[in-house]
């Protein structure tokens, strides 16, 4: 199972992450849905080794998450 998961990650995670990055450019109205998707991805791929390209995409996604889903968003609502 772990080997299958790793093989899947190597082949499909870059495409999946690229799709998520592109979809994150949507309007703020979709932020809640995008936040939930990122949380689900984090849980699904926990422990999977990433390539340097995947790590760069992950850094962009984490940055977006912190801006739109993290403390910055809660402070803006005050």
**Predicted confidence (pLDDT) per residue in 17-74, tens digit:** 766 665 655 545 567 788 888 888 889 888 989 899 999 998 998 898 888 887 644 4
73 contacts 67 by C-beta, under 8 angstroms: yes
Whole-structure pTM value: 0.54
How far is residue 28's CA from residue 19's CA, in Å, rounded to a whole number? 17
Structure tokens at 13: 């995670």
Phi, psi of 45, rounded to the nearest 5 degrees: -110, 20
How far is residue 39's CA from residue 68's CA, in Å, rounded to a whole number? 13
Structure tokens at 75: 């402070």
């Amino acid at each position: 199972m772990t080997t299958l998961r790793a093989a899947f990650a190597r082949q499909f995670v870059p495409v999946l992450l690229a799709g998520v990055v592109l979809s994150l450019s949507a309007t703020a109205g979709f932020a809640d849905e995008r936040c939930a998707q990122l949380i689900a991805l984090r849980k699904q791929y926990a422990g999977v080794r990433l390539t340097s390209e995947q790590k760069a995409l992950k850094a962009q996604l984490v940055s977006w998450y912190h801006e739109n889903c993290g403390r910055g968003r809660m402070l803006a609502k005050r």
